[in-house]
Amino acid sequence: MKFLKYFKEIRINKDSNHSFKLLNFENLTDDELLGVSGGGFSDNLRQEKLEAGWTQEELGKLLFTSKQAVCNWEHGRRQPNLMLLQEISNLFECSIDDMLKERGSKN
Q: What is the pLDDT of residues 82-104, one digit of tens each?
A: 999 999 999 999 999 889 887 65
In a domain, residue 106? The reply is: no
> What percent helix, strand, coil does the chain show, rounded to 5?
60, 0, 35
Which residue type is seen at 3? F
In a domain, residue 60? The reply is: yes
In a domain, residue 104? The reply is: no
Please, which pLDDT band fits residue 34 given cuts at 50, 70 and 90? low
- Tell me the CATH number at 17: 1.10.260.40
**Looking at the predicted structure, is the pLDDT value of residue 69 above 60?**
yes
Q: Domain total for the chain? A: 1
The span from the CA of 24 to the CA of 71, in Å, is: 29
In a domain, residue 16? The reply is: yes
In a domain, residue 30? The reply is: yes
In a domain, residue 59? The reply is: yes
Please, which pLDDT band fits residue 5 given cuts at 50, 70 and 90? very low
The arithmetic mean of pLDDT across residues 6-24, rounded, is 47
The span from the CA of 107 to the CA of 101, in Å, is: 8
